[in-house]
A and B are shown apart, each in its own frame.
With several copies, the nearest count.
Chain A
Amino acid sequence: MKILYFAWLREKTGTPAEVVTLPDGVADVNGLIRWLSARGAGFADAFAEPSLVRAAVNQEHVKLEHPLADDDEVAFFPPVTGG
């Protein structure tokens, strides 16, 4: 799957985008956040406050309970501030 990070999630993870294989045991966005957080300090910091994190799957806003498939495009970002 493709994972994208925007705004301060991009800065904290140091990663604008990456391709990973859906890890074993990860069924939804929350599971992916737990898996990513265990990767290192930057990722742990980015996801430290889950209430500040929003997600999109295949370019559609989703709740963190949203299920994941290996060919999904997942994005993490703070609440949007356009307009």
Chain B
Amino acid sequence: MIRVQQEDFDPGAELARLSQGNTSVGGVCAFIGLVRDMAGDREVGAMTLEHYPGMTETELARVEEEAQGRWSLEETLIIHRYGRLEPGDRIVLVAASSAHRQAAFDACQFLIDWLKTRAPFWKHEEGPEGAHWVEARGEDDEAAARWEEGEMGAAKNE
């Protein structure tokens, strides 16, 4: 399931839904991303997440579908917020449930890695030194590249 929303979400309620009424689930893996008070050595007062309505949902659905195709999963969930957020605020939740824990872990890591380089969100950070658009990070590209076709086994099974 995909949700793109301005309002906060309740991780406990969301995660419960990944196994509720489904006793085939042996494990749920989840990742919650939050706004930090520092970005590198810059203080962050707040940030505004801009996105591309329509394409965001389409891309997140593609990422979810790709995960469902790669692993044997019971449920997957991506919730991503947009708008103005402050340090400590939740930005994103990705989660996967599966009969077996390794599939849940790998799928969850895949969801956030691919989302980071594909979902059309842009962070505008405000701090004491002014505001600026956050630059994409090479390490996010590398994290996503681990999951490229043909390298998947190498990335996770060694």
User: Which residues on A are within 8 Å of B, measured CB to CB?
Assistant: 4, 6-8, 10, 56, 59-61, 75, 77-83
Contact = CB atoms under 8 A, between A and B. Distances in A.
Contact of A82 (B58, B121, B133, B135): B121
A56 B121 contact: no
A1 to B, nearest CB: 15
Interface residues of B, number: 29
Given A56-B120, A82-B80, A82-B121, A4 B136 contact: no
Can you list the 3 inter-chain pairs with the closest CB atoms, starting with the nearest?
A82-B121, A79-B136, A59-B55
A82 B136 contact: no
Q: A6, A78, A83: which has the most chain B beta carbons within 10 Å?
A: A83
A6 B122 contact: yes
B55 A82 contact: no
Contacts of B135: 78-79, 81
Given A6-B122, A77-B122, A83 B50 contact: no
